[in-house]
Each structure stands twice: as C-alpha cells, then as structure tokens.
Amino acid sequence: MSRPNKRRSIATPILTAAEFQAQGTSAAAVLSIANLHTGEVAAILRKTAVQLARSTGEHLGRRYRPSNDNCRRAARRAV
C-alpha cells in the first residue's frame, strides 16, 4: 500500500544573528530568505535580520518610496 503524498514540514535549524554575521551574511540577505518562508519561520528570520542590522550598523534599505514606483509626479514649473 502506498501512502498519499503529504507535505512534511522539515524542521530546519534557524541561525542566530551572530551566526549569520560570522558567515558574512547581510541583513538584507536574511530578509530575502524570510520572504521565501511563511508563518513563524518568516517572523523569526525577520527578527533575526533586524538584530543583525542593529549589531552591524547596516541599514535595511526600507525606503519611503521604492525605486520601482511608476507613479507620475507633478512637474515643477518655473514661475
């Protein structure tokens, strides 16, 4: 008898901010990894990225207006 295919959640160890720093991983890379996951794992990785950014002094690069914003701005005219 064959078992039906079920998604198994594999428990992968999550590194700490100090371990990511020792590997040379940036906080932005950790945020990118967090975007691949969902739920609790993603939340833990986001917190780790913030801790890593604080410890290294790196900015996370969250801009007010993203670079891919295609909104047309009002043109300034000389008066």
33-57 pLDDT per residue, tens: 888 888 888 899 999 999 999 999 8
Q: Is residue 52 part of a domain?
A: yes
Q: Is residue 4 part of a domain?
A: no
Number of structural domains (the chain) is: 1
The percent of residues above 90 in pLDDT, for the chain, comes to 35
Q: Is residue 5 part of a domain?
A: no
Q: Is residue 73 part of a domain?
A: no
Question: How far apart are alpha carbons 27 and 41 in whole angstroms?
Answer: 16
Higher pLDDT, 29 or 75: 29
Domain around 38: 17-56
Query: What's the rounded mean pLDDT across residues 51-79?
Result: 75
pTM score > 0.75 for this model?
no
Q: Is residue 70 part of a domain?
A: no
pLDDT at site 3? 57
Q: Is residue 37 part of a domain?
A: yes
Cα–chain center distance at 21: 15
